[in-house]
Structure 1
């Protein structure tokens, strides 16, 4: 005989957390199968299960003697840090409300009522645009039921009534959202929330309420010529056509935790992510850590917004899938045919001459004369002929964007490696030692070693007055960079170029590659080659017309 509880202490909170994990695990496949909104990616049950597991691991770390306040706090911190998907982030706010309610000790009727009111506020603040027929609807029904009870009602009666109201709200979701009605299902996240509430009932009264099992009806066969529905956006339910057209990736789910923002900064992050995609949720744990979630076609941009807001950790990027497209349909891509047996080399290149060099060496080129979106690189990687793809980024995208693209491409089944090339001259050096007969890992290592062994610099014209490490530069001055650092400021381009070559060759070198840009004079490359021959005997020099914008010239020293 199990005693009916009149309050929920630390031990009961722990039992509830464990029971949530067990119940969600048992019904994970059922919940996943119902997942059609906002993206039919069949992972809501999985996301909820992993989120609660993260909360439990945090709770266990707090120790077996922790009080209700500490247990509640640990559950909230763990849930926010380990939140998976839109549903997981929302549940993390329920647990944050539990933590706040348990701050004064064990939970009673009044505490549960306050907890649900607070959870509803936290979730409303976290979700960019609420939609009826989702977890938010069910949470609102639970709050209304709790608020309708007198404060003196027994805890057992309260939680049972809340669970019944929650179950009724789950059933009602089918008719509240077009996607659900067309599929003939209830909302997956709403069902998951009901399972969590039922777990609380079991802890309080010792038995689980009897519930029906849900299954997704067999989808009718589509007749020839029938249009396939476009995925909808959770931010208002309007069709999310941008980034989901045929021939393009269906987009990504990006989740990470950012530490440090205050409420105002978190709100700014929420707005910034809403500009990039939909299903935006930014939810905090109450101590400066925030879980961010967005569906977007620009995962790198989503991560960058988080980095601007604070210290980003635990980035997870999942691709919803792709639709096949012809490589020729990708803007800016030029193929050199099948570059190797079983492996492709892909390079980001600026300038007509530089692009020709790379294509002649067997690479597929994506032009980056102007700023390039990371989604373009992803589309090309996915459309490459072979599974193995080695990418020469050549400094066109940030490290964060490359990490995001790499993760997304691997999720799409590509074995992709981003080689550490920060300039086109380094990429050419890497391409020169490429050997398709080697294993991919060995080929990538050899190419990376060649790139790393190539010292590089560039010559540019200053467009504004600026203070550099070597003094002030004025508009029109010639500035020489060794890597990313300004080391030369001179009035004339030739003087700056010769002095930069001296610095790059100061520690030795056998060959200099000169890649001349579009803004350089016609004989500029020949003048630089003549200087190398006279000032550095024994050093070979080769000059190419790269045609790249921005840099007057790029130097590579091997």
Structure 2
């Protein structure tokens, strides 16, 4: 390791992110395999990896955006915490994001070296940061449970507090304290003891703390291995396919959905949201602050959980996971298919122009107004209005999939056969509608529409509302952002130039047809110029242009 100063500075945080991502990449499958609490869904390792990946990307963006100058520790710590917050996945990832936020509150916002907010943190600062991390994580969980990652984080902080020395010594003590606590988790939680495994989230945190120790000291820590337990074999490398025995209360008998979303809201609204979500379900974790929060909860009514977020503020990047979805699909697949039944398409559509286009193609539309996404009840009403025994549902927005899934389940309970195609943009919905044939067998029609949507890459142009870290670097308020497949890929200053760059990147991988959907604020001259650019720079690629209408995005782009 080149960084061996035994202090925590910007370079050490950058190394920490990289090493943690590598460690979780190596151990992801094993952590997934021992995931039995709070739900045995086998994704804790993956969720932790994706959370740290987002933190790593945010840190790299700070270094890229400030080159050739080196960033300061506060800038990098804030980026790491912010990246983890916006990219947090699952219960474990959300808690890890809060742990990093707690550390950032000390290392970035409350630097203990008097008069020095730019220099490296010493052992005292790291001890305080680990303590704040553990405390803030417990505060974020509605009902803390011992034997989980919270226990491991507290033990790491206790071990660090009891140790004098530089950052290398403190980080090593925290790692060893976490390992000891992790070994004890099977005796603290019945689900873990029954399965003969340690807590998966705690194991992931041990990997992250091991990476921290290596980043500040340059020394690789011994790899943690689970000690044999009475009545159980040693679990050093659990097969991903292993079936772990888990009590029913931690299996499918719990809430049906995991709901996660980012939320822009003030503190008072979030306090009310916590109370409401706590009454709706369990595994409630709300992390963040200063107007931006990450909300995680397990519920039976996914729509109600999201509607609670809408009442509190502006939820977005909404994700839903149906814990029993595989079983539901298996049961439905065994039922005899209905041939040539009356069929309809229900689509969520932004903008009156697109609504007219979809209606001409025979779809029943549900408006998606800015800041007012439709609730699951509105989608159920639209399915009922369609008067069909078979319905293809197009959410046309990644953030609408949770609501669409809840609506689909409700409609199925009423006897309607519903297929949810996970379209993430209205241009993917257009591609699906183009191959829709109601006289075809339902399953065949769904497969064809899904394939067409999946083969369509999508992009959107939007205007940045404030300065922010993005996948493409730091943007300023008023910049034009080009989002490709949901991630910021281009930061520009004008719509035409940004759109050309986005098109060139998308068409570099090939394409036959470009679809442009213009919002009201984009003049026809821009569409004409983009058509000419595609015709001249990308031969044999056709272009079609639609007007999205008043509520549509600035510009939507689809490439098939």
Q: Could you tell me whether the CA contact under 8 Å between 1:117 and 1:143 is conserved in 2? A: yes
Deviation at 1:326, TM superposition (A): 12
User: Counterpart of 2:185 in 1: which secondary structure?
Assistant: helix
The equivalent residue for 1:21 is 21
Matches within 5 A, 1:61-140: 61-64=61-64, 65-103=70-108, 104=111, 105=118, 106-140=120-154
Tell me how many residue pairs correspond in the alignment: 367
Q: Could you tell me whether the CA contact under 8 Å between 2:404 and 2:420 is conserved in 1? A: no
TM-score, normalised to structure 1, is: 0.58
User: Counterpart of 1:315 in 2: which secondary structure?
Assistant: strand
The equivalent residue for 2:237 is 215
Measured in 2, the distance between the counterparts of 1:326 and 1:10 equals 50
Matches within 5 A, 1:215-364: 215-216=237-238, 229-232=247-250, 241=253, 243=255, 251-262=256-267, 264-284=268-288, 286-322=289-325, 323=327, 339-341=338-340
Measured in 1, the distance between the counterparts of 2:105 and 2:305 equals 30
Measured in 2, the distance between the counterparts of 1:23 and 1:324 equals 35
Relative to structure 1, is the Cα distance of residues 10 and 441 closer, same or farther in structure 2, using a 3 angstrom cutoff?
Answer: same
Match of 1:159 among 152, 171, 180: 171
Q: Could you tell me whether the CA contact under 8 Å between 2:376 and 2:403 is conserved in 1? A: no
Relative to structure 1, is the Cα distance of residues 199 and 346 closer, same or farther in structure 2, using a 3 angstrom cutoff?
Answer: same
TM-score, normalised to structure 2, is: 0.58
Relative to structure 1, is the Cα distance of residues 146 and 417 closer, same or farther in structure 2, using a 3 angstrom cutoff?
Answer: closer
The equivalent residue for 2:392 is 390
The equivalent residue for 1:536 is none
Structure having greater relative contact order (Cα 8 Å, sep ≥ 6): 2
Deviation at 1:177, TM superposition (A): 0.4
The equivalent residue for 1:46 is 46
Q: Could you tell me whether the CA contact under 8 Å between 1:34 and 1:215 is conserved in 2? A: no
Larger radius of gyration, structure 1 or 2? Answer: 1
User: Counterpart of 1:53 in 2: which secondary structure?
Assistant: helix
Deviation at 1:136, TM superposition (A): 0.3
Deviation at 1:276, TM superposition (A): 1.4
Matches within 5 A, 1:484-499: none
Deviation at 1:408, TM superposition (A): 8.1
Q: Could you tell me whether the CA contact under 8 Å between 2:3 and 2:12 is conserved in 1? A: no
Q: Could you tell me whether the CA contact under 8 Å between 2:186 and 2:192 is conserved in 1? A: yes
Matches within 5 A, 1:365-514: 389-390=391-392, 402-405=403-406, 415-416=419-420, 435-437=438-440, 440=445
Relative to structure 1, is the Cα distance of residues 9 and 340 closer, same or farther in structure 2, using a 3 angstrom cutoff?
Answer: same
Q: Deviations over 1:215-236 (max 9, x none)?
A: 34997999xxxxx84233xxxx
User: Counterpart of 1:7 in 2: which secondary structure?
Assistant: coil
Relative to structure 1, is the Cα distance of residues 287 and 418 closer, same or farther in structure 2, using a 3 angstrom cutoff?
Answer: closer
1:141 maps to 2:175: no
Structure 2 unaligned runs (5+)?
65-69, 112-117, 226-235, 347-374, 411-416, 424-435, 450-560
Deviation at 1:4, TM superposition (A): 3.6
Measured in 1, the distance between the counterparts of 2:90 and 2:244 equals 30
Relative to structure 1, is the Cα distance of residues 418 and 171 closer, same or farther in structure 2, using a 3 angstrom cutoff?
Answer: closer
Measured in 1, the distance between the counterparts of 2:252 and 2:447 equals 42
Relative to structure 1, is the Cα distance of residues 99 and 185 closer, same or farther in structure 2, using a 3 angstrom cutoff?
Answer: same
Deviation at 1:90, TM superposition (A): 0.6
Relative to structure 1, is the Cα distance of residues 300 and 200 closer, same or farther in structure 2, using a 3 angstrom cutoff?
Answer: same
Relative to structure 1, is the Cα distance of residues 155 and 41 closer, same or farther in structure 2, using a 3 angstrom cutoff?
Answer: same
Q: Deviations over 1:301-357 (max 9, x none)?
A: 1111111111111111111124459999xxxxxx9x96534886699xxxxxxxxxx
Measured in 1, the distance between the counterparts of 2:447 and 2:214 equals 56
Relative to structure 1, is the Cα distance of residues 441 and 187 closer, same or farther in structure 2, using a 3 angstrom cutoff?
Answer: closer
1:168 maps to 2:172: no
Deviation at 1:166, TM superposition (A): 0.7
The equivalent residue for 2:429 is none
Report the aligned-residue RMSD.
4.3
Deviation at 1:400, TM superposition (A): 8.5
Relative to structure 1, is the Cα distance of residues 436 and 266 closer, same or farther in structure 2, using a 3 angstrom cutoff?
Answer: same
Measured in 2, the distance between the counterparts of 1:60 and 1:311 equals 28
Structure 1 unaligned runs (5+)?
223-227, 233-238, 244-250, 329-334, 348-371, 394-398, 420-432, 445-558
User: Counterpart of 2:283 in 1: which secondary structure?
Assistant: strand
Measured in 2, the distance between the counterparts of 1:163 and 1:99 equals 19
